[in-house]
Amino acid sequence: MRPSTTIGVALRSFGNPLLNDYEETVRRLYDAGYRVLDFAFVCHNYPNYILRADDWQQRIDRIANLAQKLGVTFSQSHLPYITDTMYCTDANFQKPGYAEYFDECMRRAYIGSAMLGVRYATAHPMSFPEYNFEEQPQLEENRKYYDRFVELGIQNGVGTAFENMLPSLNRSWPDRYCTRYEELIRLVDSYNDPMVGICWDTGHANQMRFDQVRALRAVGHRLKNTHINDNHYGTRDEHLQPFMGTIDWFQLIPVLAEIGYDGDLAYETNQVGIKAEGTLQDAILRLTYENGCYLVKIYEDALAQRKENATV
């Protein structure tokens, strides 16, 4: 296990209508200490989004070459996603041609993930209120949409990790598909393929007030990716560093050793330092790396204790 982070923590700046340079973002995260990254293909509505460009493959190839030179690994990625996970709440899908553009971004994100050596790309299950949020038709609709992309990923050596979703914090909707881990497990198990698994977002689970030890034991071998962040419940998905919110990390991290998780701790702490600039933001990025190293130490200690207990 290694400390990791999404490039989104430095790719976007507060109030900036454009994305920062992708290669410079990788360099900054390298300088902060990170050697493992989660590539964010999620900024598809920005005009300088990497997959929007005609030379997107050449740009990704440059990033892959830079990462190899620096000794940086992209162990996971994040696919484009729909606002609120629902077509009906995303105004962009009312625009002619946008659905086709979004699907092309999905296709390119899988190919780009393969170019970067990603093991599993994280996907958001979609919600369908027109079915009264009934589980089975929502599972079927997700299969109808994602099957072609899951297969594309498999053909290119990239697995798909479906993420546990965030509840509707402003209560505009009574439910969202895969906020409950039982639904997520059934969606993943419907594929019956080791290349399809789960991404566990600790902040989303905290908003659901789950006992995350119990939840992760249920997820078990299906866990492929993580989104590590903290919050205080409430009405905001705060994306704070661990120990800044209400999650008990001394209970949560050891269960990852218990269930045999062999991936990385990928921080998704985008709100920490997003309003800072320059050297101050770099200092905050270094702090997130040290925070991640601390959690990795908790994991390693738990793993060593389990091995010791097994020999007694």
Going by C-beta distance under 8 Å and a sequence separation of 6 or more, which residues neighbour residue 119?
75, 76, 158, 159, 224, 263
DSSP class of residue 83 equals G
Query: Does residue 198 sit in helix, strand or coil?
Result: strand
Q: Which residues of the chain have pLDDT under 70?
A: none
Beta-bridged to residue 265, according to DSSP, are: 3
Query: Could you tell me the strand order of the sheet in which 73-78 lies?
Result: 223-227, 196-201, 159-163, 120-123, 73-78, 36-40, 3-6, 265-267
**pTM above threshold 0.85:** yes
pLDDT of residue 211: 96
* pLDDT, tens digit, 9 for 90 and up, residues 246-274: 999 999 999 999 999 999 999 999 888 88
pLDDT of residue 71: 98
What is the token pair recorded at 3? Answer: 């400390």
pLDDT of residue 264: 97
Q: Which helix (H) or strand (E) holds 266?
A: strand 265-267
Phi, psi of 106 (to 5 degrees): -60, -45
Beta-bridged to residue 78, according to DSSP, are: 40, 122
Neighbours of 133 (CB within 10 A): 16
CB 177 within 8 A of CB 133: yes
> What span, in angstroms and rounded, lies between the C-alpha atoms of 171 and 148?
32
pLDDT of residue 238: 94
What is the token pair recorded at 105? Answer: 């971004």
> What span, in angstroms and rounded, lies between the C-alpha atoms of 225 and 239?
17
> What span, in angstroms and rounded, lies between the C-alpha atoms of 194 and 221?
9
The residue written with tokens 């507060």 in the block is 14
First vs last C-alpha separation in the chain: 25
Query: Does residue 103 sit in helix, strand or coil?
Result: helix
Going by C-beta distance under 8 Å and a sequence separation of 6 or more, which residues neighbour residue 248?
none
pLDDT of residue 216: 98
Query: Does residue 283 sit in helix, strand or coil?
Result: helix
DSSP class of residue 171 equals S
- Short-list 226, 239, 7, CA closest to 120: 226
pLDDT of residue 310: 83
Pairing of strands 36-40, 223-227: unpaired
> What span, in angstroms and rounded, lies between the C-alpha atoms of 165 and 186?
14
